[in-house]
Chains A and B, each alone.
Chain A
């Protein structure tokens, strides 16, 4: 009899505890109620560790510089940023950190993550909890073109800049090309759009090659390379750096000029590690610190003073995402409910270090300027110099692996 009472007591207590915990969790998972007071919170998923760790300080710097300009407040409400490390390519970590920012820290908006794999880890969750998320990094290839969700390509798409690079390559006198692209979405968009632009101008593509990750030695690919007037390449991380170096070592630098379809990995510190043989490298990008406009002229010295580095495309993305968020708050009058912020973004036009950016609500990405740059030696140092600027570029399409 006593045993029966004990069992009933234990069972009943456990049931009550489970109910209490469930209620608490349900409360924690509920969408954040609008706050009339209290800080406005930004949750930023940035790569502080892992293979993309060099983007972390640039992301953090860009956000901090923009908030310095805004005085870290909107009207009478302070603005806070909570930075979390998404460990670069770790989609499980990115999701865990996103959940922590939304459910425990109760942020009003998310920035990032950068890597596509990390984004894929968070995409469904973002759509379920309906938290506005502004991209730091290309997101155009992952946006649903017919109905924007809750993740917004405030940087635009890679295809916007590489399509123009394809046209530029033809204008430069190249008539045939090879391409090397990372064997996933970014590669398909980057090379697909380049080929589209190049062919539309009249060029012919000899070979499109797709490259996996974790490739240590590019020699085998270079040994089997067919002749062409130029080669375009898009990859990331250390693989891209060793690709460019080995391109030079195998004597291809002058035989087949190289066009890199993004400058974020072969950055200026890396160019100066390479040496003078890197002169003449062409690249496509959407930002360079030498751009002459009022916003960039203020941004560059502020970023250098804060971080000791020159800003790059990631710094500009982070600054621009923050500018978009501040403009959204302006439009909503400080209303930070998810739906109000989302509606405020559509059609928003801001001035950013890269130039004027307009968020196209129908398509879910930003219309912006893109550039073609070339490596030159200025003041004894190698740097990118802008050769041509393409204003207000739009996304040419969605490209899959042929």
Chain B
């Protein structure tokens, strides 16, 4: 029983990080048709900013979360406004440019923060452990799950119950019609891009509680995000959440029960989804 509970908590906490990581990617691909492979590097930059604020400067952890998000969001906006806005519908060019930015951001991070990997960090109040079925379980993982639940509800409400959410959903279905109705779709798209990269920066600081921060994580975490995107589907909060939970749980139980097959299991799920439902569990056509 304790094994099941601990693995469930592991899966949900890791799944929450994947959810925060993938929302932005799902929205930019769904609304703007942009394949933003800089997403993983922005996760890394958010994490480094958070480390600087919370560890090096010793300031409040939640301030670190906010600043990590804002810096990643602004960087993302610069990339979109300066480069990607000229490359809509040019997928090969988008891939080349965003991959280039991965190298640029990785080497800038090396220059600023050095090559040593940074240890996982959290708010002092979240640094302890709670006894669960005789097993000590980190408090920060439980709060991460809570943050994920609150954000998922908040974002669902924003998407389903607000005018801006309706415009974004309409824009994903038919950009030209919504434009014809007088909505400034250009402004909406770059706001969505900023929001997407803000979320990935926040994910970087929250994820740093488990993963730490290091120069190589941009590529590693991007791969996981793409798997979640394929499994959950593009263009909706629900899709990102579903994909993240499925992958998080498969990772947790898979590594514990079949360690040698753990990475293979994620890809197996992705292959099955591509064969059975190519748009993902809850995705839209892109």
Taking Cβ atoms with an 8 Å cutoff, the residues of A that contact B are 47, 49-57, 88, 209-212, 214-217, 219-221, 223-224, 237-238, 241-242, 245-246, 249-252, 265, 267, 269-270, 273-274
Contacts and interface: CB of A to CB of B under 8 A. Distances in A.
A223 B220 contact: no
Interface stretch (B68-76, B133-141, B153-161, B180-188): B133-141
B33 interface: no
Given A220-B7, A245-B119, A273-B119, A250 B255 contact: no
14 contacts: A49-B110, A53-B110, A210-B259, A210-B260, A216-B14, A219-B10, A220-B253, A221-B255, A221-B259, A224-B3, A237-B214, A237-B216, A238-B117, A241-B212
B216 A220 contact: no
Given A54-B114, A220-B10, A250-B136, A242 B262 contact: no
B137 to A, nearest CB: 7
B252 A273 contact: no
B129 A250 contact: yes
Given A221-B259, A238-B216, A269-B116, A251 B252 contact: no
Nearest to A237: B117
Contacts of A221: 255-256, 259
A251 B251 contact: no
B55 A217 contact: no
A223 B6 contact: yes
Given A216-B224, A217-B10, A224-B3, A250 B216 contact: no
Contacts of B55: 273
Interface in B207-221: 210-217, 220-221
- Majority SS of interface residues in chain B? helix
B120 A242 contact: yes
Contact of A56 (B115, B129, B135): B115
Contacts of B129: 249-251
A270 B119 contact: yes
Contacts of B224: 216
Contacts of B14: 216-217, 219
A246 B14 CA distance: 13
A252 B6 CA distance: 14
Contacts of B215: 49-51, 53
A29 B164 CA distance: 65
Interface string B209-252: 01111111100110110000000000000000000000000011
Interface of B: 3, 6-7, 10, 13-14, 55, 106-107, 110, 114-120, 129, 135-138, 140-141, 210-217, 220-221, 223-224, 251-257, 259-260, 262-263
Nearest to B248: A217
Contacts of A212: 262-263
A53 B254 CA distance: 32
A88 B220 CA distance: 15
Which among B14, B114, B253, B255 has the highest number of chain A CB atoms within 10 Å? B255
> What 10 A-B pairs have minimum CB-CB distances, sorted nearest first?
A251-B136, A53-B115, A220-B255, A238-B214, A238-B117, A54-B115, A219-B10, A51-B216, A249-B138, A224-B256
Contacts of A273: 55, 118-119
Contact of B254 (A54, A214, A220, A249): A220
B137 A250 contact: yes
A209 B212 contact: no
Given A216-B221, A220-B10, A242 B136 contact: no
Which among B106, B212, B253, B260 has the highest number of chain A CB atoms within 10 Å? B212
Nearest to A224: B256
A217 B251 contact: yes
Contacts of A55: 115
Contacts of B260: 210
B138 A274 contact: no
Nearest to A88: B216
Which among B129, B216, B254, B260 has the highest number of chain A CB atoms within 10 Å? B216
A242 B212 contact: yes
Contacts of A224: 3, 256-257
Contacts of A215: 255
Contacts of A265: 117
Which among A51, A88, A223, A269 has the highest number of chain B CB atoms within 10 Å? A223
B208 to A, nearest CB: 10
A112 to B, nearest CB: 16
A270 B114 CA distance: 13
A62 B224 CA distance: 38
Given A220-B7, A223-B7, A238 B212 contact: yes
A336 B154 CA distance: 70
A220 B220 contact: no
Contacts of A211: 259
B119 A217 contact: no
Given A224-B257, A270-B119, 10 more contacts: A49-B215, A50-B215, A51-B215, A215-B255, A219-B141, A224-B256, A242-B212, A246-B210, A251-B136, A273-B119
